[in-house]
């Protein structure tokens, strides 16, 4: 099918990471993930995947942790946007989105992947945090964990570059807002594949260290109808980004991916109130100022 020597080790690592993350999240929530294993063998796509979904939990209103390993052919138009030659491709990756029930626990996304087309292979992915209420302790912790991973692989990755690219990628131009407070993002990285494979594994394994303490810190925080309404409105922004701009979603849709897995990232509930306004001195306004101006962890003296 392919001769990418980094494909099988990456796939095995992603499956092990999926198991580890799901076990930790079940321990946090007390609710088991639904296991939905699938295979594809048709004209559009061939391969298999493991979809893990938790819905209606005590902490996680909806959580999805997906693994897939597929091969097929790009359309001519989509192939033109990818490195390599020909239309045949292979892809494997892990992707997760966690939508907590509490507005005080941030939504979080992580995705790492290996793709090959012709004789060109590359890694891509990253992780980012999307809070509903701003807590700089949380934001700094999330960035600090990822910074430390990047510094361990400074020979192949540059933390400020990954931060900058994340800030540029997770943007809703029509809103003039970033999706959240950033993290890491990179794509089409094929240089020094052995070290990049190690970096991707380390970054994936750091996910629980980056997000789990944040969730645990806010488990007892109370909230009411106002906070819930704000959370649903901000989730609407999340939906807009994922359906219009997200490369993973578009990749799945344009390659005939399994639709339930492709749209796993969408929240169970969201809202689009007409022309909403917030008080200038409110915590809602504080978050808006952050996502409009942006946050640069590389220049934060307290990180």
What's the pLDDT tens digit per position in 161-176? 999 999 999 999 999 9
Report, as an integer, the average pLDDT of 167-186. Answer: 95
Please say if 109 is a catalytic residue: yes
The SS3 call for residue 119 is: coil
| pLDDT tens per residue across span 280-303 | 999 999 999 999 999 999 999 999
Nearest CA to 170 out of 56, 295, 78 is that of: 295
* Spatial CB neighbours of 219, under 8 Å, sequence gap ≥ 6: 59, 102, 105
Q: How far apart are CA 271 and CA 263, in angstroms?
A: 17
Residue 260 pLDDT? 82
Sort residue 155 into left (φ over 0), alpha (ψ -120 to 50) or beta.
Answer: alpha
Q: How far apart are CA 107 and CA 91, in angstroms?
A: 26
CB atoms closer than 10 angstroms to residue 192: 14
Residue 257 pLDDT greater than 80, yes or no:
no
Instruction: Catalogue the E-assigned strands of the chain.
Output: 34-41, 45-55, 60-73, 88-100, 107-117, 120-130, 171-172, 177-178, 183-189
Question: Is CATH 3.40.50.2020 the classification given to domain 7-299?
Answer: no
| pLDDT tier at 3, thresholds 50, 70, 90 | confident
| pLDDT tier at 2, thresholds 50, 70, 90 | low
Structure tokens, 98 = 């966690």
Residue 1 pLDDT? 44
Q: How far apart are CA 107 and CA 105, in angstroms?
A: 7
The C-alpha R_g of the chain, in whole angstroms, comes to 19
> How high is the mean pLDDT of the chain?
93
C-beta separation of 196 from 156 below 8 A: yes
| Cβ-count burial 272-287 (b if 16+ within 10 Å, e if not) | eeeeeeeeeeebbeeb
Residue among 99, 109, 141, 218 flagged as catalytic: 109
| pLDDT tens per residue across span 44-90 | 778 999 999 999 999 999 999 999 999 888 777 776 777 777 778 89
Strands of the 45-55 sheet, one edge to the other: 34-41, 45-55, 60-73, 88-100, 107-117, 120-130, 183-189
Q: How far apart are CA 117 and CA 188, in angstroms?
A: 11
Q: How far apart are CA 110 and CA 96, in angstroms?
A: 5
DSSP structure class, residue 244: H
pTM greater than 0.85: yes
Report the number of secondary-structure helices (H) and strands (E) in the chain.
Answer: 10, 9
Residue 79 pLDDT? 67
Residue 278 pLDDT? 95
């Amino acid at each position: 099918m392919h001769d990418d020597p980094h494909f099988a080790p990456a796939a095995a690592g992603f499956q092990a990471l999926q198991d580890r993350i799901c076990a930790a999240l079940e321990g946090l929530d007390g609710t088991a993930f639904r296991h939905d294993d699938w295979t594809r063998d048709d004209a559009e796509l061939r391969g298999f995947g493991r979809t893990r979904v938790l819905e209606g939990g005590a902490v996680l209103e909806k959580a999805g942790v997906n693994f897939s390993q597929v091969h097929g052919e790009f359309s001519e138009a989509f192939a033109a946007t990818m490195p390599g030659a020909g239309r045949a491709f292979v892809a494997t990756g892990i992707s997760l989105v966690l939508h907590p029930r509490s507005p005080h626990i941030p939504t979080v996304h992580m995705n790492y992947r290996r793709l090959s087309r012709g004789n060109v292979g590359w890694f891509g992915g990253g992780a980012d945090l999307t809070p509903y209420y701003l807590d700089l302790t949380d934001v700094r912790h999330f960035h600090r964990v990822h910074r430390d991973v990047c510094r361990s692989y400074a020979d192949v990755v540059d933390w400020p570059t990954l931060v900058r690219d994340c800030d540029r990628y997770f943007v809703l131009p029509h809103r003039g807002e970033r999706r959240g407070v950033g993290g890491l993002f990179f794509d089409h990285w094929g240089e020094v594949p052995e070290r990049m494979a190690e970096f991707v594994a380390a970054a994936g394994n750091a996910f629980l260290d980056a997000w789990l303490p944040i969730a645990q810190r806010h488990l007892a925080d109370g909230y009411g109808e106002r906070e819930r309404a704000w959370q649903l409105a901000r989730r609407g922004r999340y939906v807009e980004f994922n359906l219009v701009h997200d490369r993973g979603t578009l990749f799945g849709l344009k390659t005939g991916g399994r639709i339930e897995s492709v749209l796993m990232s969408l929240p169970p509930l969201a809202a689009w109130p007409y022309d909403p306004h917030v008080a200038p001195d409110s915590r809602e306004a504080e978050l808006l100022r952050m996502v409009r101006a942006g946050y640069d962890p590389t220049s934060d003296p307290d990180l």
